Amino acid sequence: MCKYLSTSQAREDLILHKTISDTKFAVLLAKSSLDSTEYIIKTFTKDDASLSSYLREKQVLSSLSHSNIINYISNSQFHVDIPHSSYILMEYAPYGDFFNLLIQNNLSSEKLIRTYFHHLIEGLDYLHSQEIAHLDVKLENLLLGKDCLLKIADFDVAQNVNDDVLFSQGTENYRAPEILMEDCQNYQAADVYSAGICLFVLLAKTFPFLEAGSQYSNEFQNYKRFIVNPEKFWNRMERFLKNKIHFSQNLRELFHGMWNLDVTKRFDLNQIKQSRWYNESIYSNEELKVIMENKLIN
């Protein structure tokens, strides 16, 4: 057992196996000593900033229940004492995040990506129906659960859609232009923009736009090029990708809707669901499980 993880013998023991991440917050993998069920423990130090993130994420997660949102687990049956830290207990998503799945080339077909895009939109639709905006939608925050369903995770910057002040700055190259310009009035629309970036990266394996001053550079870093002349943007992008991917008219129309600079004209989630590309074929959950387990286990 980890030196700084202690449990009450009156409750179920959790045995710590490893640290999964130790960047912004320490994320630990633990296993039940009774039935070997695996859990994630996300820890927060007790300084003011971390405590605020802890309280926000716990409040949000504990109020949610959806197949495409990471499952919060009450720690009432566990007593975990991590000195100088608060923690949140969650389900373990054993197959990692969608950024790593992409790197490992486990998301190669458009139909497969469309299926997972459905999961993302369904998760966001539920989240927004609870008047919560995620505000940091990116591939690293999308996990693949043991059921092979997409799970939206990391709610430490999530906010109520009616909050007057936006606290999150999002993540570079995923965040909506209005967040970058510090003029975001519609938090749900910002999530839609970021979901569009996720879809593009899954399909093209590169970002469509890079923010000025990025450590990376290519000719598509200027979002304004897309706004001013979208046809030229798509033609250049296909040449840049050496025609490895064809952006159909249906797909282009979806991106145009999700990336509209005017948030009053940007697609909402219902418009995304009604779009032609979205309504092309997808896999059932049963088919998806077989496909992904073959990819990930073999």
Dist. CA 21–CA 18, nearest whole Å: 9
Interval 84-105 mean pLDDT: 91
Q: Is the pLDDT of residue 80 over 70?
A: no
Q: Which are the catalytic amino acids?
A: 136
Amino acid at 177: P
pLDDT tier at 31, thresholds 50, 70, 90 = confident
For residue range 170-205, what is the model confidence (pLDDT) as tens digits? Answer: 999 999 999 988 999 999 999 999 999 999 999 999
Dist. CA 11–CA 31, nearest whole Å: 14
| pLDDT for the residue numbered 214 | 53
Interval 86-93 mean pLDDT: 91
Interval 273-285 mean pLDDT: 98
**23, 141 contact by CB (below 8 A):** no
pLDDT tier at 298, thresholds 50, 70, 90 = low
**198, 174 contact by CB (below 8 A):** yes
Phi, psi of 31 (to 5 degrees): -130, 140
Interval 113-132 mean pLDDT: 98
pLDDT tier at 4, thresholds 50, 70, 90 = very low
Q: Is the pLDDT of residue 136 over 70?
A: yes
Q: Is the pLDDT of residue 209 over 80?
A: yes
| pLDDT for the residue numbered 44 | 85
Q: Where in the chain are all domains bearing CATH 1.10.510.10?
A: 98-297
- 165 contact partners, CB below 8 Å, separation of at least 6: none
State the average pLDDT for the chain.
88
CATH of domain 6-91: 3.30.200.20
| pLDDT for the residue numbered 11 | 59
Q: Is the pLDDT of residue 218 over 60?
A: no
| pLDDT for the residue numbered 224 | 84
**83, 4 contact by CB (below 8 A):** yes
Other Cβ atoms within 10 Å of 18 Cβ, number: 9
| pLDDT for the residue numbered 2 | 41
Residue 65: HSE in the Cβ half-sphere, 13 Å Cα cutoff = 3
Q: Where in the chain are all domains bearing CATH 3.30.200.20?
A: 6-91
Chosen CATH of 98-297 out of 3.40.50.740, 1.10.510.10, 3.40.50.720, 3.50.50.60: 1.10.510.10
